[in-house]
Structure 1
Amino acid sequence: MARADVEKRWNEFHRTGLVTVRVSPLKIVAMTLASLVVAMILALMAVAFFLDDGATALKGWIGVLFAPLFLVFAVLEARKLARKSQLTLSSHGITISANRRGERDREMGLRWEEMTHVELYSGSPQSASDDVRIHLASGAGANVEGDVSRGYVDLPDGFAMSKRDLAELLEAIRGFLAARR
């Protein structure tokens, strides 16, 4: 745990028994703006192809199909910021919650006993992004939305810690608490 952010949050967990990692406004705004820029570029390229080749331009129609997808992605990213998602690490487990209608609503909860290990998972060499993957013990995951039959759950993106640091912190806390049991 050489990273300063991990060390700081590790010490906070030992001192208070509770660590909260909020969503990063900078990351969310950057992802939203990037999605909007890509959507705008696709739309402008589609217009250029239509002007050059007319309504039969296949590349223009491809741009017309993909530009709205990037707009939807931008809205979904901006929604994370509006919902003020946060990850809470306590001695009992982890909880992901968000603001809905003025109240904090729990979206996911896992006890430390339900986890076998936490890792930074890289899907393939071609994939640019990594995931914080929590591997579940047999029969665990009753408080997790979605399919847990594959034996793991990936944390959502956008938290104020890097995925590498977050995976390291979660595994350190999980290992520490497992050793105490």
Structure 2
Amino acid sequence: MKYSASLLFSLLLSTFCFSQNGFTSLFDGKTLNGWKRIVGSGNYTVENGMITGTTVAGSPNTFLATEKEYGDFILEFDAKVNDTASNSGVQVRSHYDANEINGSNKGRVYGYQVEEDASSRAWSGGIYEEARRGWLYPVTLNPAAQDLFKTGEWNHYTIECIGNTIKTWINNKPVAT
């Protein structure tokens, strides 16, 4: 799957990660402390207590990653995508290889992406393996979930990564479970 300047987060609000130590806030609402941009030249800023991602024409996919790694976790966040041509997602259990050359771009992100798909394809909440096997759980496997994501509105995501299992929910309804 190829798309230009995919954003890891298209507006993010109240991001929490639940691990063995209880819920941990990943975003302080004011700064990008604890986060780093990798690959691409997309821009991430904090506006009104939210992380806002903006694509840059001609840039490869741009990722905003936590500086800390997590084992088993439940990630909850709210996302809003206004552009129906946008394709974005949240990488989980992913890795960055700064030495790999991807076309003319140095560096590559590998791993699982939970989709934010505002297009008519409606695959939000599906699981895609970036730079490897491709679609692991297209939402066509759960047609009832294809109407859960609302373009131009806030959507609540829950992503559970326990052991070798990844499960997703949008607006408290199961997508990939």
TM-score by length of 1: 0.25
Would you tell me which structure has more helix in proportion to its own residues?
1
TM-score by length of 2: 0.25
Would you tell me which structure has more strand in proportion to its own residues?
2
Structure ID, larger Rg: 1
